[in-house]
Amino acid sequence: MADSPITDLRGALELLEKHPGQLLTTNVAVDPMAELSGVYRYVGAGGTVMRPTKTGPAMMFTNIQGYADARVVIGMLACRKRVAMLLGTTPENLGKHMCRALETPVAPVMVAKEDAPCQEVVHLATDPGFDLRRLIPAPTNTPEDAGPYITMGLCYGADPETGEEDVTIHRLCVQGADEISMYFVPGRHLDAFRMKAEKAGKPQPISINIGLDPAVYIASCFEAPSTPLGFNELSIAGSLRGKAVEMVRCVSVGAKAVANAEIVIEGELLPNVRVAEDQFSKTGKAMPEFPGYSGPAKPELPVIKVKAVTHRVRPIMQTCIGPSEEHVNLAGIPTEASIITMVNRALPGLLQNVYAHPCGGGKYVAVLQVKKSAPPDEGRQRQAALLAFSAFSELKHV
């Protein structure tokens, strides 16, 4: 993969600033409670509960009510052209670009704490007055949401028995001064780690990394069978950048964090502790989901007990709304790469490209381009479609 100067969110923002129309910064005061997402809906792109109808700039909010010096960026990956720009390729080549990275992984490396920008400022949960809700300007996207959500939190954990690592993005709702609920889609690798720890009666150490290099976010959204249990998706990001992702030991728990993250929340998933997702709002709703509806709040979710928050000086909170083109690209581009990889193994030379169409939220609809070189090739497109269906249970139309 070609070398790239981008290793963190700030480098990505600097690149967007060089391209007119890709980043809009505003100092107008905005309330993180339903207002920030509403402004982005109309100025940036998309909608809080309606399918996006246009493509607009990423937005940086520098005046967040109730949070001195806080900044929130949204929509970094909400445009396929912008994603391609940030990854050094073209929009139509994104799936193939990710394929090559998947095939040539570069494992992450450890760095010393003094070389980790994410630990420039440290807040321990034992500090007087510690309150996650005052440190992190997590937006509440709609008045019906269960609470403030961390929507771009890359969760890191390790298998308590084997030490194998995994990173994934999960639905995280702030539930108090030092508690966060965590929703696991069935089959997620990090949940398998949590269940092993819970069976042993032990907490599962975890870090939540916010504000990252776009390559890290995209890479983390690969799923099985492309990335089986024990495969560290950060190695895909390392391949995309031609440089290993740098990690650092957490200050309060036995986990690792992305060294260049803007914000890191350190904590432990508590064994046999559950909380209602909407325990405070009582709306019965969680937050808008990628297909375009508000998902129901879960009655019982695992709880993260926060032990520390570390961050860079004047950190940038990264977020997204649902549904949006950001969801489409995060889910869809790795899906494209996975289908290409799988079909090429079984039917080499047939598949030319794949497009995870936005109408399916990046998960439900895939358009396959095939090349039929001879009459016997007729029908092989059906074989390709069946391979795609067999690999992705959420896929509905090919």
The list of the chain residues with pLDDT below 70 reads: 1-4, 45-54
The DSSP secondary structure of 53-80, one letter per residue, reads -----EEEE--BTTBTT-EEEE-TTS-H
**Which residues lie closer than 8 Å to 119 by C-beta, 6 or more apart?**
113, 248, 251, 257, 264, 310
What was the pLDDT predicted at 214?
Answer: 98
Asked about 277 being catalytic, the answer comes back as no
Do 274 and 300 contact (CB within 8 A), yes or no?
Answer: yes
Percent helix / strand / coil, the chain, rounded to 5: 30, 25, 45
pLDDT tens digits along 248-270: 999 999 999 999 999 999 999 99
Average pLDDT, the chain: 94
Residue type, 38: G
Out of 35, 164, 179, 289, pick the active-site residue.
289
Distance CA 67, CA 226 (A): 41
Do 308 and 250 contact (CB within 8 A), yes or no?
Answer: yes
What was the pLDDT predicted at 81?
Answer: 95
What was the pLDDT predicted at 48?
Answer: 41
First to last CA, the chain: 30
What was the pLDDT predicted at 398?
Answer: 95
Strand partners, 140: 33
**What six digits make up the tokens of 86?**
């940030």
Q: Residue 373 — left, alpha, or beta (φ > 0 → left; ψ -120 to 50 → alpha)?
A: alpha
Q: Which DSSP state fits 365?
A: B
